Structure 1
């Protein structure tokens, strides 16, 4: 039976991609799935009822695959899902708050770290693929033919300091435009399609399943793919916890990583993802079948999320360079 999902409001806050395998590169650690008795070799989790902060996006589908198929239980975990907010700049307290491990975009995770949150990286969640993230417009508006036509226009995003602005800025740059050439407006994901259809904004940045849903329900069209060119195969999101939690609960962290790896591998079977989306993320079966999917890495290579941190520095999201290798959870080192 499915465990209940809580809701947490923190203050302030159809193309199948192949798995990018390999362990070469700086700061890598394997999240290898293990045999059926692997749970005992990892050790008994200190915190079996681990609280997982999640967002209702495709990226987190493997967590729900792990819940439904007993993968978490295999490693001695009984997770409690805590639904985080999708809108605004999130600053969750992972030491004293309502989640032990949080999922989010790398942008938000790194902004928290830059803001003195002592977090460590536990694993990668999702890597964008073609047509999995992009700018949508109203199909009835014929004046928007190229990205340059967005100059001076309003673009809806779910977070003014988030992944959408970072990716959109990159698209603007490839078209010789600056971030200040457009006007970003913060709008909840659930309201973005309506804002485009109603003319409140000229375009909106979306991820799946919102992207496909906006096309089916609101007549929106994909105007610019923000996972192409310089941001092709862009590392989109991951998991982190407080360093203090990792130190106090090494078995719990290893169990989570092992369960995540097995679930990420299971998610290579698209049907596994499609089966959990309607129940856990409120996605219709039609949207689940039509939407594009990216990749679910089952190993974590620091060099991948480092791309995000470096682009954030380039766009002045960060004041100094963040070294992702130094933020890898020590318990995950073989």
Structure 2
């Protein structure tokens, strides 16, 4: 697998410009740390998953970016398998949570009064896809008819992207059978013949190839899902209203961290320590991008595709779900 490295050197002007764009797009003040009011909640609880998407959070922690904006976050590891239904209200599991847009929007559709704080990760070629066993006789997507496909969540991002791939190839989602397995067990399910293919994201995609001899059968970040917005951050609307300075500080810290993540070597350096990714996998895996601006039109693609595929019964207007806080006085 070819390793693609990004070694951008960011000027202070570029960094501040990106931070400003992020804050403006999220309807918050874009001023630097000087002049910003003190966060109401310094030890903000961040719900995280051990996936590549969250690497900038750990960059921010290690590089003192959170501290720069007055935050001392407490990381709360969330479950990686199945639906996430975290309680983000006062006294709940976390104050801010990371997850796939699919899971975030399903929570909102189920009545969670959440607002969007920022984008986390955007797919790129060969960062998500269906893998098969090396001995598999499958040669085209259309041969998946009546075949079991492993996914980590039957109502998740993997099914959404795989359904799109199937439709692009003239198939219907009902023509395959989804089997729910944890990401950690998907490679074994493929190697053992329990499923004919499995949907994976990095680092599981590369890990499955190195450890189990799996091969990438079909890229799911192509066509209608090319450059697909994969994940983001959200909090309860009540938290945003009660703690506007905290929300603003988190957004600014995230924007700076996402920009720092343009330097692939910096991302690679935190993956082994914080996300249990070996150095070898970190160097070989393909990576998507970390948007340093938050534009509603991007996650709206996900919400609209979810409606089209009947993940939801009504449309979610992402713009109306953007966190909006008053600028500091």
Output the TM-score relative to the length of structure 1: 0.90
Do the aligned partners of residues 195 and 332 (structure 1) sit closer, same or farther apart at CA in structure 2, a change above 3 Å counting? farther
* Residue 109 (1) aligns with residue 76 (2): no
User: 1:332 Cα shift?
Assistant: 7.6
User: 1:331 Cα shift?
Assistant: 1.6
Q: Let me know the Cα RMSD of the aligned residues.
A: 2.2
Contact 1:166 1:315 in 2 (8 A): yes
1:50-109 superposed Cα distances (whole Å, 9 cap, x missing partner) = 000000100000000000000001001011111111111111110031200000000000
- The match for 1:299 is 293
* Residue 97 (1) aligns with residue 98 (2): no
- The match for 1:125 is 120
How many angstroms apart in 1 are the aligned matches of 2:58 and 2:192?
A: 34
- The match for 2:15 is none
How many angstroms apart in 1 are the aligned matches of 2:139 and 2:297?
A: 36
Do the aligned partners of residues 29 and 197 (structure 1) sit closer, same or farther apart at CA in structure 2, a change above 3 Å counting? same
How many angstroms apart in 1 are the aligned matches of 2:300 and 2:72?
A: 31
User: 1:333 Cα shift?
Assistant: 7.9
Contact 1:135 1:224 in 2 (8 A): yes
- The match for 1:148 is 142
Do the aligned partners of residues 332 and 194 (structure 1) sit closer, same or farther apart at CA in structure 2, a change above 3 Å counting? farther
| Alignment coverage as a number of residue pairs | 314
* Residue 135 (1) aligns with residue 138 (2): no
Output the TM-score relative to the length of structure 2: 0.91
In structure 1, runs of 5+ residues without a counterpart are: 1-13
Contact 1:31 1:261 in 2 (8 A): no
User: 1:29 Cα shift?
Assistant: 3.1
- The match for 1:271 is 265
User: 1:31 Cα shift?
Assistant: 8.0
1:278-298 superposed Cα distances (whole Å, 9 cap, x missing partner) = 000000000000000101001
- The match for 1:3 is none
* Residue 191 (1) aligns with residue 185 (2): yes
Q: Which secondary structure state, in structure 1, belongs to the residue aligned with residue 115 of structure 2?
A: strand
Listed as ranges, the matches of 1:131-280 within 5 Å are 131-141=126-136, 143-280=137-274
